[in-house]
């Protein structure tokens, strides 16, 4: 019978391309990916994560959540017997930029930015992908109106270049998103340092939150980040 890994990471599938690239150099870590669509229904996120946490074998020593606060989606999650380590981040964008500080800096410089990543594009959850879903449900005219309403407070569409995936294809998709929705296109250099720490540590108080066994994840733990950064 195969022994359980000593560390388990439960992450959103949107960061799968980057995590899988990093895992080649990491041993004894299991990663379980949950569906990206939970970001569209954050009210269902906590129960879905909890269901996964409740199946963790007792001999796993360390449990890490590959999510930020995510529109309060993880609020109410109860830490398992091992405790729970959570990135001190508002959402996955900080993870892909390399640090919470990098995200804060980008937000201050250009708050009206909609970020695209390889994972978002691959899952078809960029604005054009969502437009396609809406068109199938509501028709082209209504779908375009709804998407423009959802994006009306954004001025830029920025592709985060994490070094993963076909950059030319991602860049073409990003520019098409910007053209269709009347936004300015830009690119940001990503950094996998935060995701590497998610897999390997070190887990410092500056970058991670720690929840004791049985403790619930609360919004207050993220309050500084919530006040500074707007949800996606």
Query: Domain spans of the chain?
Result: 7-93+192-228, 100-189
**How distant, in Å, are the alpha carbons of 51, 103, 194 from that of 98?**
29, 8, 5
pLDDT digits (tens, 9 = 90+) for 138-179: 999 999 999 999 999 999 999 999 998 899 999 999 999 999
Map residue 188 onto helix, strand or coil: strand
Question: Collapsing DSSP states into helix, strand and coil, what is residue 151?
Answer: coil
Task: Output the pLDDT for position 68.
Answer: 87
DSSP state of 214: T
- pLDDT attached to residue 225: 54
- Predicted pLDDT of residue 91: 85
**In 3D, which of 52, 57, 21 has the Cα closest to residue 35?**
52
CA–CA dist 124, 107 (Å, integer): 24
Do 92 and 117 meet the contact criterion of CB atoms below 8 Å apart?
A: yes
Alpha-carbon span 76 to 5, nearest angstrom: 26
- For the chain, what is the mean pLDDT? 89
Q: What is the pLDDT of residues 77-129, one digit of tens each?
A: 999 999 999 999 888 899 999 998 898 898 889 989 999 998 888 888 899 99
Which pLDDT score is estimated for 230?
Answer: 47
To which residue do tokens 């569906």 refer? 35
| pLDDT at residue 227 in the model | 46
Cβ atoms 5, 25 nearer than 8 A? no
Q: Is 115 left (phi over 0), alpha (psi -120 to 50) or beta?
A: beta
């Amino acid at each position: 019978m195969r022994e359980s890994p000593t560390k388990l990471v439960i992450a959103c599938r949107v960061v799968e391309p980057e995590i899988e690239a990093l895992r080649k150099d990491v041993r004894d870590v299991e990663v379980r990916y949950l569906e990206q669509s939970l970001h569209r229904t954050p009210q269902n996120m906590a129960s879905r994560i909890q269901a996964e946490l409740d199946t963790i074998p007792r001999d796993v020593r360390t449990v890490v959540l590959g999510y930020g606060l995510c529109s309060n989606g993880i609020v109410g999650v109860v830490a398992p017997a091992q405790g729970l380590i959570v990135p001190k981040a508002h959402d996955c964008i900080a993870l892909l930029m390399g640090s919470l500080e990098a995200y804060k800096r980008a937000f201050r410089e250009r708050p009206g930015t909609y970020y695209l990543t390889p994972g978002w594009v691959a899952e078809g959850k960029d604005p054009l992908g969502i437009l396609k879903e809406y068109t199938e449900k509501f028709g082209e005219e209504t779908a375009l109106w709804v998407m423009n309403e959802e994006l009306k407070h954004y001025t830029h569409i920025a592709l985060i270049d994490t070094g993963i995936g076909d950059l030319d294809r991602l860049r073409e998709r990003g520019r098409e998103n910007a053209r269709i929705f009347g936004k300015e296109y830009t690119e940001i250099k990503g950094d996998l340092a935060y995701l590497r720490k998610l897999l390997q540590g070190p887990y410092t108080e500056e970058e991670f939150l720690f929840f004791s066994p049985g403790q619930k994840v609360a919004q207050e733990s993220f309050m500084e980040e919530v006040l500074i950064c707007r949800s996606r």
